[in-house]
Amino acid sequence: MHELGIAQSIVEIAEENARKQGAKKVLSVIVEVGALSGVMAESLEFCFEACSRETLLDGSLLKIERVPARARCRSCHQEYDLTNFFDNCPACNSVGNDLLSGEELRIKEMEID
């Protein structure tokens, strides 16, 4: 379960940044998770709760914002939604595309006290 390692990293990064800002507590953390990132939101939430115990994030809320997968066709330059990496362009049926979004995994913001 790689979500455990991801949750640990989120807690470490958020706690380090909160301490630098003189915070006593982290109230919430917003994380962007791309549709093609391979991260299971439910597992990440469970692991986050376990990893945040006895830290500045203990009891904080993890908010997950899903980022849809989008691509641009290399042939006709049409932008379109992806359900997986191998979707053909809906306009010209070409297989070559450039991924625009969907692999994100980043802390977007956090609320501190």
pLDDT digits (tens, 9 = 90+) for 28-73: 999 999 999 999 999 999 999 999 999 999 999 999 999 999 999 9
Give yes or no for a contact between 25 and 113, defined as CB atoms under 8 angstroms apart.
yes
Residue type for position 66: R
CA angle centred on 24, ends 22 and 25, rounded to 5°: 120
- Its pTM stands at 0.87
